[in-house]
């Protein structure tokens, strides 16, 4: 059984909400975004977890000073996040997996250029909005020099979002160059979203497996149960690199200690420590630089048994 679990606390940083689009995600103001990011980071560090940020290009431009400050405090700010329809609706009015190979290459290049202008360096990691991707995505990311990312959500089957991950690997792996759901040999560290695969739920007409984001409507006991299931399942799978990868967004009020989502967040982080301690499992908070260093230093880099 696994005696150590690495915990990656991450945030997708969305641009400002488009008031003309129904149910569009994102903060209403940049001040709201900053407070959310700061609160999330502060709480994570209280529990020993550095945060990895995946920034939409507009966020990198608006929050450049904030992100550099967080990086000095131990955060990883090198992740790029993209919803094509948010970035440029005229040219890329689709989810990421709905783009052609040439359009994926173009939008990644444009987004990376804006990121580099803001941050003074190019992004190293990538996460598409809604975990939307197609069979060209991993190959293009590798060709463009991305080191790794969090591209997949195993067992997600959201056809309308071009996010289909039935049967995809559930733990860190090298992806295949031609088929997104298969382990391969690309020099890219894909770290899937971690979910509880014990029961299938439904939300807004979509079936889904619950992950560790704090904005679900549930009781503290419910959150602790999901954490326990996630840790148990990772241990049972015995991956060479056991990572719990959790996500949220910068439109949750993490600066407000009395907000329910903030309380849920603390419940999750406390449960990770308590459940692992009870099971004799060492918890280590990591950001994506740490994960990729570990990834390429282990046999995960090319798991021959999985390739057979």
Residue 24 has a pLDDT of 75
Per-residue confidence in pLDDT tens, the chain, 308 aa: 569 999 999 999 999 997 556 667 899 999 999 999 999 999 999 999 999 999 999 999 999 999 999 999 999 999 999 999 999 999 999 999 999 999 999 999 999 999 999 999 999 999 999 999 999 999 999 999 999 999 999 999 999 999 999 999 999 999 999 999 999 999 999 999 999 999 888 777 788 899 999 999 999 999 999 999 999 999 999 999 999 999 999 999 999 999 999 999 999 999 999 999 999 999 999 999 999 999 999 867 654 444 33
Q: Which two tokens stand for residue 272?
A: 């990770």
Mean predicted lDDT score pLDDT of the chain: 94
CA distance 249 to 177: 29
Beta strands 243-246 and 148-149 are unpaired
Domains of the chain: 4-307 (3.20.20.370)
CA geometry: angle 159, 164, 169, nearest 5 deg: 170
Q: What is the pLDDT of residue 307?
A: 39
Could you give the CA distance from residue 54 to residue 111 in angstroms, rounded to a whole number? Answer: 12
Contact 134, 100 (CB under 8 A): no
Phi, psi at residue 99, to the nearest 5°?
-90, 150
pLDDT tens by residue, 184-208: 999 999 999 999 999 888 777 788 8
Cα dist from 218 to 58, 115, 121, 127, 248, whole Å: 32, 36, 40, 26, 16
pLDDT at 299: 67
pLDDT at position 305, please? 44
């Amino acid at each position: 059984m696994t005696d150590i679990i690495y915990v990656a606390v991450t945030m997708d940083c969305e641009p400002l909400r488009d008031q003309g689009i129904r149910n569009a995600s994102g903060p209403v103001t940049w001040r709201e975004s900053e407070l959310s990011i700061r609160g999330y980071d502060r709480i994570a560090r209280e529990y020993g977890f550095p945060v990895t940020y995946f920034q939409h290009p507009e966020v990198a431009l608006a929050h450049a000073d904030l992100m550099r400050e967080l990086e000095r405090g131990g955060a990883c700010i090198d992740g790029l996040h993209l919803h094509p329809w948010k970035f440029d609706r005229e040219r890329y009015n689709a989810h990421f997996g709905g783009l052609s190979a040439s359009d994926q290459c173009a939008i990644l290049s444009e987004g990376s250029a804006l990121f580099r202008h803001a941050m003074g360096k190019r992004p190293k990691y990538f996460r598409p909005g809604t975990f939307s991707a197609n069979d060209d995505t991993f190959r293009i990311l590798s060709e463009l020099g991305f080191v790794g990312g969090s591209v997949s959500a195993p067992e997600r089957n959201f056809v309308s979002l071009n996010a289909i991950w039935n049967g995809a690997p559930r733990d860190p792996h090298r992806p295949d160059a031609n088929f997104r759901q298969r382990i391969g040999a690309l020099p890219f560290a894909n770290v899937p979203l971690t979910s509880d695969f014990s029961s299938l739920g439904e939300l807004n007409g979509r079936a889904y497996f619950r992950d560790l984001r704090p904005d679900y409507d549930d009781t503290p006991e419910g959150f602790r149960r999901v954490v326990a299931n996630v840790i148990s399942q990772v241990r049972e799978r015995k991956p060479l690199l056991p990572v719990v990868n959790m996500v949220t967004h910068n439109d949750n009020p993490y600066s407000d200690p009395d907000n329910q989502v903030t309380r849920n967040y603390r419940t999750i982080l406390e449960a990770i420590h308590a459940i692992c301690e009870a099971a004799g499992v060492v918890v280590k908070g990591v950001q994506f630089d740490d994960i990729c260093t570990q990834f390429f230093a282990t046999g995960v880099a090319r798991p021959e048994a999985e390739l057979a």
